[in-house]
Amino acid sequence: MRIRGIRAVVTGASRGIGAALARELGRRGAAGLVLAARDAKRLAGVACELRGMKTQVEEVAGDVAWPETAGRIAAAAEALGGLDLVVNNAAVVNEPADLATIPDEEWRRIFETNVLGAVRVARATLPLLARARPGCLLNISSYWGRAGAARFAPYCASKFAIEGLSQSLAEELPETIVCAVNPGVVATDMLATAFGGDVSGYTSPEECARGFADLIESLELADSGRPQTVE
């Protein structure tokens, strides 16, 4: 899939991997981007940068955990005139804790964003992606979506769910590229929350975004359903 000229959705686009990927897509000539995130002020800053690159940008300030946000994202994509790529990046992580101490409310919080958020955005945008031939739906997973980690059961379970969702949708949608993508260990605010310390020694969001964009440009329909990793 060539990035130049595409129209794409990126959720969780106000910071970290999402913001860096949005900027990289703009640098590589994406025609239009729908950027979605909870933090309206930071989102506006990213959008302003991209407009400086002559990229058409639609902003959706909202939480993907809210059911109405997916519809707003799809409407914004319609305003771009179509859609070629969706990157379900928005996610939250639990504070490290043993299973016995994690309440149901925390499980619901993680799954509402990480799983149902991705499901709703996919459901709302797939009719647009179906016109692209092939459209591409990339659901951000994690190393912890392929190998569990102690004290992060809710987050790990949510990312294992993303892997299964992606494989199921790949079977269901033979004309659309659908993959779960492990971005690697990236120095984001989320990683700092998880590790509780300095994460500056890990891959930067910008380096991850360059690898992610290279991955996008390498994808073909034959790759659908195969778990991907950013190198």
Question: What are the beta bridge partners of residue 64?
Answer: none
Q: How confident is the model at residue 193 (pLDDT cuts 50, 70, 90)?
A: confident
The secondary structure element, H or E, covering residue 74 is helix 67-80
Q: What residues are labeled active site?
A: 155
Instruction: Report the percentage of the chain scoring pLDDT > 90.
Output: 94
Q: What is the pLDDT of residue 86?
A: 99
pLDDT digits (tens, 9 = 90+) for 164-176: 999 999 999 999 9
pLDDT digits (tens, 9 = 90+) for 85-135: 999 999 999 999 999 999 999 999 999 999 999 999 999 999 999 999 899
pLDDT digits (tens, 9 = 90+) for 29-75: 999 999 999 999 999 999 999 999 999 999 999 999 999 999 999 99
Q: What's the whole-model pTM score?
A: 0.97
Residue 30: what are its φ and ψ, rounded to 5°? -55, 135
Q: How confident is the model at residue 197 (pLDDT cuts 50, 70, 90)?
A: confident
Q: Which CATH number fits domain 7-218: 3.90.226.10, 3.40.50.720, 1.10.10.60, 3.40.50.970?
A: 3.40.50.720
**What single-letter amino acid sits at 38?**
R
Are the CB atoms for 83 and 180 separated by under 8 Å? no
Q: What is the pLDDT of residue 195?
A: 80
